[in-house]
Structure 1
Amino acid sequence: MSCSNYNLISTSDVPEDQPGNHNTKICGICNLNTSKYCCPRCEILYCSLDCYKSESHTICSEDFYRDCVNEELANLNADDDTKKKTIEILKRIQNGENLELAYDENEAAADSDDEVADDLEQRIKDLDLNNADEMWNVLTEDEKNEFRALCNAGDVTSIIPPWEPWWMYSKEEKLVEEVNEKNMEDVEALRNCPGLKPVVEFGKLTTVQPSATIKMNIANVLTAYAFIMRYFNGELEPIEGTICFLMICGNLGSNTNYDDLATAVESVAQKCLQTEFIETDKESLEVMKHDTFLILQGPSHDNRDHYSKAALSHLHKVFGEAKKTEKGDKKSKEVNKNEFSKIFPDHKQEHLPKLEVVKLKKCMKKLEFYLSYIESYGMDFE
């Protein structure tokens, strides 16, 4: 008998002379309740699933489910995912759940999600993903309404995962370590960092002995960088990012010098709380201070300055992009206003202070000076 014939048989369909049947149709397992079903293997009458799965009927019920699973897997000509779903459905049946409901829930949900994902993928396949109007035009009304709702809610974190800073990795120091031992985690960590900007030797820039306060000023820059990177969730828009950075970095923003590390870091925290263009809290500022510590520590004891150089190099690149954008042809910024552009106008920056190109050039020169200093003297505060 194949499992395909293992259908639950109602006692109303069982002839009076069927083995295991009685005129009163009492459950043959508990001997208490009126029977409703007939076992397709041993043909005993039973009243409920509990009785069917009871200890006295275990051998029969377990053989039934085992045969069903084996037959399904033997006859099923499908991929591993389909087989897995089939097994899950059979397990749900054994646990007392309805077969039809189990199939509908699993297959309908999966089919629906797959169809939506495949359909959207086809619609945007040949589009320029940076063109908001083109993307908007291929969305359905439901998708447009969902996007509007997300924008109105203002909860960006619900659709954009928080950025994981590249400076979070720190190599675990070992008491004994093989010479020239290569750790793949070290390699991957450095690969995730911004590329280092090559600079000239510090001795070629000046013959004057550098002041010890240079390290404090660099720390002020690194602290502001750590905050602004998390503030923009890892994607630093050149113009707005640079303006906000200069607001909270006393050294590059207003040529302030610092005599100790604590003051250099705390200065950024106070400016973040004071400026009207940045919204933050004490918890975020504590994270910023810890990030500064991690950047100064570097990925490992032997490569302590790498994160500091990577941060300054990235900042130099962002400043360069901001300078290029600010000097660019304003006509290139003018675009045709289509449906999306009318509904969601471009983010304006008129509320922010104007970015001075001359000041940017000076800041970039200062960053090159700091990079050269670190290359020659390092950032060891001990």
Structure 2
Amino acid sequence: MSFLAKKSCAICEKPLAKYSCPKCGIQYCSLACYRDQKHITCTESFYKQQVEESMQSQKADEQAKRQMKELMRRFREQIADDNLLDPDSLDSPADKEADKEDADKEEDVDDDDEHDLAERLQGIDLDGALNHQSAAEIWDRLTKAEKDGFLDMLGKQEIEEIIKPWTPWWGNKQGKRNNEPKIVELSDTENAADIDKSDAASSIPAILNIGVSVQTLAKKVHPSVIFQIIQIELAYAYMMRHVNGEPYNENLQLAFEVMTTVSPLLSSKTADIYPSAHEALVSGFCNIDIGLSSDAKIMLLGDLQAIFDAPIYVAATFSDIYSLLTELLALCKQPKTHETPTPKASIVHRAERRVYFILSVVLQMQNDISAWQFISADISLLKRRFESEFQASK
């Protein structure tokens, strides 16, 4: 599962693989290896999904249409530059020898090509929200040269313009001062999935004020719950990086699987008891990958430092986890018509109730400054250790 650990690449066999395919799980070291013929099934599936998600989210409004037209223009130019299409499809017969007039002629040819593409896409509602079937139809109606050209263009770092690199919301120092999370009242019977998440990838999640004291949920709270909080925060930070800051919608089940892998106590019948923050974190790192590199651990511990540096962020993350689980639970209770099987509702419900309890603990601890400082000190100590190991390994 780890995209951070260093393993051998399954494509080129170099011992530099830092990534894993979320579909088939193979380890790979670069975009070139990801797009290799050995991995073409997952590659095509990935780009189909990106096309679908892009058109779903942007609703094909005027700005999106202009952006798509610009992408198409650059795509056609790239095809022409790389000679991926038969020259006859790019130039009229009268202009085959007129290299000096290519710039003027290609514009006319682009219109012809786009008209031809429009004919091939007839019958598909491009103005509405697309689903997997219609996205697959669009892909299938592209010529082999168009598919190859599109993938080649993405391989030349153009992918960053489609999938924007995500910046964790907890790393926004300005946000800590001026952009505190909203506080939303939530009774035990209300649905956290109804909370507005229109800009969840970049904004601080709303804090769910559940309005229930810890004493009403449990007679006694085990001291190790503080270390469970740390491990679940690690699971959340890793998951958010794994899904590029977008844990909802089509990533909902993946988000749950990643978090429960890193921190099994989320969904297990009996919660693990850790004697220290160190043990809780090391256990979580091993659950990610037993060979997780020091630089990856340093990055994740930096995430935790940023979160625990502002206790209100701890409440925000557990509120977000609770909202995720509530939404997934609702999905699990729907008729089983999904392409991908959902987890058992009983497992998700168990995780939801555990997070509900821990959220009540976190909210009650908000003003216990010494407790949060204790956690931050432990995280900082472990981070310095891995930094020393990383420097020694260079």
TM-score (norm 1): 0.51
* 1:277-316 alignment, distance < 5 Å: 281-297=293-309, 304-316=310-322
Deviation at 1:164, TM superposition (A): 1.4
* Structure 1 residue matching 2:225: 3-state secondary structure: helix
Q: Would the aligned equivalents of 1:127 and 1:134 in 2 still touch at CA under 8 Å?
A: no
Residues 172 and 308 of structure 1: is their aligned pair in 2 closer, same or farther, counting only changes over 3 Å? closer
Q: Distance in 2 between matches of 1:245 and 1:146?
A: 37
Instruction: Name which of 261, 279, 295 aligns with 1:247.
Output: 261
Residues 366 and 207 of structure 1: is their aligned pair in 2 closer, same or farther, counting only changes over 3 Å? closer
* 1:65-80 alignment, distance < 5 Å: none
Deviation at 1:110, TM superposition (A): 9.2
Q: Distance in 2 between matches of 1:356 and 1:258?
A: 27
Deviation at 1:281, TM superposition (A): 4.4
* Identity percentage of aligned residues: 20
Residues 130 and 158 of structure 1: is their aligned pair in 2 closer, same or farther, counting only changes over 3 Å? same
Residues 109 and 355 of structure 1: is their aligned pair in 2 closer, same or farther, counting only changes over 3 Å? same
TM-score (norm 2): 0.50
Give the match for residue 236 of structure 2. Answer: 225
Q: Distance in 1 between matches of 2:179 and 2:116?
A: 39
Residues 225 and 147 of structure 1: is their aligned pair in 2 closer, same or farther, counting only changes over 3 Å? same
Give the match for residue 359 of structure 2. Answer: 371
Deviation per CA, 1:202-248, whole angstroms, max 9, x where unpaired?
A: 25525745444222111110011101111121222222321221111
Deviation at 1:109, TM superposition (A): 8.9
* Structure 2 residue matching 1:256: 3-state secondary structure: coil
Deviation per CA, 1:251-298, whole angstroms, max 9, x where unpaired?
A: 324411222222222221111114xxxx9644333211211111111x
Deviation at 1:199, TM superposition (A): 0.9
Q: Would the aligned equivalents of 1:167 and 1:307 in 2 still touch at CA under 8 Å?
A: yes
Deviation per CA, 1:100-137, whole angstroms, max 9, x where unpaired?
A: x99987x8899999999999999788433432332454
Aligned residues: 245
Residues 152 and 108 of structure 1: is their aligned pair in 2 closer, same or farther, counting only changes over 3 Å? closer
Q: Distance in 2 between matches of 1:204 and 1:232?
A: 36
Q: Would the aligned equivalents of 2:329 and 2:345 in 1 still touch at CA under 8 Å?
A: yes
1:260 equivalent in alignment to 2:265? no
Please identify, of 113-122 and 132-141, the stretch whose mean Cα deviation from structure 2 is larger: 113-122
1:130 equivalent in alignment to 2:136? no
Q: Distance in 2 between matches of 1:249 and 1:325?
A: 22
Q: Which has the higher contact order (CA 8 A, sep 6+)?
A: 2
Q: Would the aligned equivalents of 1:169 and 1:189 in 2 still touch at CA under 8 Å?
A: no
* Structure 1 residue matching 2:289: 3-state secondary structure: helix
Deviation at 1:315, TM superposition (A): 1.2
1:324 equivalent in alignment to 2:330? yes
* 1:43-62 alignment, distance < 5 Å: none
Residues 250 and 186 of structure 1: is their aligned pair in 2 closer, same or farther, counting only changes over 3 Å? closer
Gaps of 5+ in 2: 1-98, 183-198, 375-394
Deviation at 1:140, TM superposition (A): 3.9
Residues 363 and 172 of structure 1: is their aligned pair in 2 closer, same or farther, counting only changes over 3 Å? closer
Residues 102 and 152 of structure 1: is their aligned pair in 2 closer, same or farther, counting only changes over 3 Å? closer
Which amino acid counterpart does residue 131 of structure 1 have in structure 2? N
Gaps of 5+ in 1: 1-100, 174-181, 298-303, 335-347
Q: Distance in 2 between matches of 1:244 and 1:118?
A: 44
**RMSD between aligned residues:** 4.5
Deviation per CA, 1:317-336, whole angstroms, max 9, x where unpaired?
A: 22222222233212x336xx
Residues 208 and 329 of structure 1: is their aligned pair in 2 closer, same or farther, counting only changes over 3 Å? closer
Instruction: Name which of 269, 277, 286 aligns with 1:270.
Output: 286
Which amino acid counterpart does residue 262 of structure 2 have in structure 1? I
Which amino acid counterpart does residue 239 of structure 2 have in structure 1? I
Deviation per CA, 1:130-189, whole angstroms, max 9, x where unpaired?
A: 323324545642443445668999x9768523221111112499xxxxxxxx84799999
Which amino acid counterpart does residue 206 of structure 2 have in structure 1? G
Give the match for residue 62 of structure 1. Answer: none
Which amino acid counterpart does residue 381 of structure 1 have in structure 2? Q
